[in-house]
């Protein structure tokens, strides 16, 4: 019995020290991202405003837009796409309307929105008609607001 007790205690002590050793090795380990459902998208930003009233006054003439609030600032976006070519097309569309915009990159993980955006991007890339571009941009922004901002799955 004594023989088994010594073996058991030795295994327990060795196990404790080995576990401690391995845990210390990975304490600050960040890891490697092996998969992600998120995709980097191009957001066409119209402006940043300090309050809701300022945003509403400056966006009254925009055909459509969505906004996010970060750090008490209102970021207004007038287009979203996966394609750099489409981002440039949307930026040019707004430039022709007299609006200055910038392209920003953000990662979105909402699968429903990303799937819908694929379809809209395909149509957008195959058209140069201003009315069609306007309609597609509007549909993308509506879908973003519905699915990402409001969290609906419809």
Q: Are residues 5 and 46 in the same domain?
A: no
Q: Are residues 44 and 26 in the same domain?
A: no
Q: Are residues 100 and 127 in the same domain?
A: yes
At residue 111, the pLDDT reads: 87
Interacting residues of 116 by C-beta distance below 8 A, sequence separation 6+: 140, 143, 147
Tell the residue number behind the tokens 């996010």, with chain if given: 68
CB atoms within 10 A of CB 61: 8
Tell the residue number behind the tokens 């890339």, with chain if given: 125
CATH number at residue 83: 3.30.70.1070
> Residue 21 is part of which domain span?
1-31
Q: Are residues 77 and 101 in the same domain?
A: yes
CB atoms within 10 A of CB 101: 22
Domain assignment present for 154: no
Q: Are residues 7 and 61 in the same domain?
A: no
Q: Are residues 27 and 44 in the same domain?
A: no
Domain assignment present for 3: yes
Total count of domains within the chain: 2
State pLDDT tens for residues 54-101: 999 999 999 899 999 999 999 999 999 999 999 999 999 999 999 999
Domain assignment present for 22: yes
State pLDDT tens for residues 10-52: 888 988 888 888 777 766 666 555 555 678 999 999 999 999 9
pTM higher than the cut 0.85 = no
């Amino acid at each position: 019995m004594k023989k088994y007790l010594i073996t058991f205690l030795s295994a327990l002590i060795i196990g404790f020290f080995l576990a401690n050793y391995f845990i210390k090795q990975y304490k600050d380990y960040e890891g490697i991202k092996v998969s992600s459902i998120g995709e980097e998208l191009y957001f066409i930003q119209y402006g940043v405003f300090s309050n809701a009233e300022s945003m509403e006054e400056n966006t009254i003439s925009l055909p459509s837009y969505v906004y996010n609030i970060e750090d008490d600032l209102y970021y207004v976006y007038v287009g979203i796409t996966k394609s750099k070519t489409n981002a440039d097309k949307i930026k040019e569309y707004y430039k022709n309307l007299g609006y200055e915009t910038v392209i920003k990159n953000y990662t979105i993980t909402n699968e429903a929105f990303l799937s819908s955006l694929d379809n809209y991007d395909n149509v957008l890339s195959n058209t140069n008609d201003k009315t069609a571009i306007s309609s597609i941009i509007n549909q993308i922004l509506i879908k973003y607001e519905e699915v990402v901002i409001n969290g609906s799955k419809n």
